[in-house]
Amino acid sequence: MEHEKILILDFGSQYTQLIARRVRELNIYSEIHPYNKIPEIDCSWKAVILSGSPHSVREENAPIADLSAIKGKLPLLGVCYGAQHLAHEFGGEVLPSNTREYGRANLSFVDTENDLMKGVPADSQVWMSHGDTIATIPNHYKVIASTNDVKVAAYHIEGEQTYALQFHPEVYHSKDGATILKNFLVDICGFKQDWTPALFVEETVANLKQKIGNDKVVLGLSGGVDSTVAGVLLNKAIGENLYCIFVDNGLLRKGEFESVLEQYKGMGLNVKGVNAKNRFYDVLAGVSDPEKKRKAIGSMFIDVFDDESNQLENVKWLAQGTIYPDVIESVSATGGPSQTIKSHHNVGGLPDYMKLKVVEPLNTLFKDEVRRIGKSMGIDKELLGRHPFPGPGLAIRILGDVTAEKVSILQEVDHIFISSLITAGLYDQVWQAGAIFLPIQSVGVMGDERTYEYAVALRAVESTDGMTADWVHLPYEFLAKVSNDIINKVKGINRVVYDISSKPPATIEWE
């Protein structure tokens, strides 16, 4: 089925993915492509959005897109750098700001008669993030919003369905950003808002059937939401030709391997449990560098899957539950210029010796979208509600080298923390939680004896997609009880701290 879609041109902003997510929240299908690799503009594209960028349009090698097939021909929205691009390239002037304009601002003028700004209050809070400012605009460009410091906060090119915003409507700090995006996408562009979870399932199952045919597929299940939803989608498409492998890498939560394995079998998935603890511990021995740990774990996962797939006849595909944030944080978005933050164990392809093709049915989805897809397929609420858990498991929550003893200690700490969140009714208020084993020892006193033991940090964040996150204000009484339980019940720990860093500037995980 051919459905309406919008093209998002990526100029390198980490917010580009948030634009795509906000569009999808409106049940509109979006695709991101690099500014310098614009796909053929045919009738399948209904509109275009230009993203922000860490670059300046005044740079000698500034990223500039060829908009000859787009501007004036399709509805077009420029965001931040995109707004400056449309001003700079078509007769306006962009200059350095006297001060960096970053953070919350309030509109002081709004042209509510303009289709883009309908329903937006005159004092609406917006989020600015730019070092340049639009000083002048061409005569046929009309200012439709301003702040006290930024005259050209939004404009409309008269005679075209071309609009631009100096602020970021996609971030939550822009209180009426969703209204502005809906005004553009629904009222101006005329999208039908028909891209739903049910449609995604229908199209994905059909595509998987066509792509895979009668081939056999091996899927590594992790117990998390992503691989579970991927497994159910594939099971719908190819049934008995799907072979699931759930690996105990020795880095899972306490008791997780046994309990989740039973859940999978109860869902009708063809799943085999594999105990590979010692193989993972061996390759991690003495490895402290976070990237080297991720690479070692990723390589061993591939080795385990290769061994298991070789026991099956005629397996042609390896399925993975890779989702969009994994991709954007590992490589530039769809080959574009976005910044790389870290590598992920399930991103980046397979070695030549492993003769399996890769299928990733969720690699265009964000975490909340994956949950909505799973809900539409009737997957158990308990599985869908599980917090995200890193692919490398507890290895990247143990700072420094990984040993079986440290894993055991961290499993006990993590179990107390997560169980306490559930008991206190706080689990569903947290997007992701976990404990981090710190590579430091500190002096403590237990009874009349001096101790010199390890410290752990507790981490709990609220988020929607993992791209940005804020620490959760857990009650002091709750933290006090958890700290007391951990120190009293987990041998080797005498100090507990709580991480109150947001993303950005920190990341959710410590490694």
CA distance 216 to 127: 49
Helix (H, G, I), strand (E, B) or coil at 329: coil
According to DSSP, the residues that pair with 436 across neighbouring strands are 457
CB atoms closer than 10 angstroms to residue 473: 9
Token reading at 135:
């000083």
Token reading at 11:
């100029």
How far separated are the first and last CA of the chain, in Å rounded? 42
Token reading at 131:
């070092």
Exposed, middle or buried by CB within 10 Å (0-12, 13-18, 19+), for 271? buried
Find where tokens 């080795």 sit.
Answer: 303
CA distance 460 to 316: 40
Give the CA-trace dihedral at 164, 166, 172, 177, to 10 degrees.
-30
3-state SS, 298-335, equals HHHHHHHHHHHHHCCCCEEEEECCCCHHHHHCCCCHHH
According to DSSP, the residues that pair with 96 across neighbouring strands are 132
| Inter-residue contact 83 to 101 (CB < 8 Å) | no
Question: Which of 145, 171, 19, 175 minimizes the C-alpha distance to 82?
Answer: 19
Tell me whether residue 168 is one of the annotated catalytic residues: yes
CB atoms closer than 10 angstroms to residue 150: 21
Tell me whether residue 244 is one of the annotated catalytic residues: no
Token reading at 137:
């605009």
Find where tokens 């995604």 sit.
Answer: 200
Question: Which of 114, 26, 61 minimizes the C-alpha distance to 49?
Answer: 26
Catalytic residue among 85, 88, 130, 168: 168
Find where tokens 């265009």 sit.
Answer: 364
CA distance 329 to 327: 6
Catalytic residue among 80, 85, 156, 345: 80
Token reading at 90:
């078509």
Tell me whether residue 170 is one of the annotated catalytic residues: yes
DSSP single-letter state for residue 55: S
CA distance 98 to 478: 46
CA distance 253 to 336: 36
Exposed, middle or buried by CB within 10 Å (0-12, 13-18, 19+), for 249? buried
Question: Which of 448, 451, 461 minimizes the C-alpha distance to 510?
Answer: 461
Find where tokens 């005329």 sit.
Answer: 190
| Inter-residue contact 503 to 469 (CB < 8 Å) | yes
CA distance 458 to 218: 35
Catalytic residue among 4, 85, 130, 170: 170
Residues with a catalytic annotation lie at 80, 168, 170
